[in-house]
Amino acid sequence: MRQRKHVIGLTGNIATGKSTVVRMLQELGAEAIDGDALVHQLMGPGSPLAEQIRAEFGEQTVNADGSINRPELGKVVFSDPEKLKALEAITWPPVLAAKREAIHSPGPDVLILDAIKLWESGMADDCDEVWVVSADREQQIARIIGRNKVDRAEAERRIDAQPPQEEKIAKADVVIDNSGTLEETRAQIEREWQRLTTTD
């Protein structure tokens, strides 16, 4: 039996600022399970996932210490939709298992499941509601360039490798527009938090 009051699936396209929204929710008292962080843990040096990735995508995607060379892996999968699907097929099952375990573990009433592919993975079915974080394209491009140290063309390629964010927005229960200031984003989150925590 589920032990949480509210399980929120939080998603959004690359560089929309999902981690900012998650951090604000954590400050309000939520627990968050970060899909990217889980993947990092599961892809540790010498892990079964790292070995599967080496076999599927080549030696250049694994560092000498057995950890994943994320820049090289990114170059491979973001330039080929089929390879991105192959990577997801390797990484999704263990990540989904860890997230489902968290749902049924004791903890704060509100649990955030942070995942780019929330619907595609089937994880949305485990959530009480889905939040989508959105941002305008220029902000996404600037964030990717700054964060990943790539040029504009590569940033645009990574954005275009995903379905349009409008598709996620159309299915969302809550949309957090992260195109403005941090204060504007925080105000939206606090309004939704108030709704959650004053409803049985």
C-alpha neighbours within 13 Å on the C-beta side of residue 19 = 8
- Alpha-carbon distance 156 to 151, whole Å? 9
- Alpha-carbon distance 48 to 55, whole Å? 11
Residue 181 structural domain? 6-197
The tens digit of pLDDT for each residue in 60-87 reads 999 999 989 988 998 899 889 899 999 9
* Domain containing residue 47: CATH number: 3.40.50.300
- Is pTM beyond 0.85 here? no
In this predicted structure, what is the pLDDT of residue 1?
43
* Count: domains in the chain: 1
- Alpha-carbon distance 198 to 45, whole Å? 44
Residue 138 lies in a domain: yes
Question: Edge to edge, what strands does the sheet with 174-177 contain?
Answer: 31-34, 110-114, 6-11, 129-134, 174-177
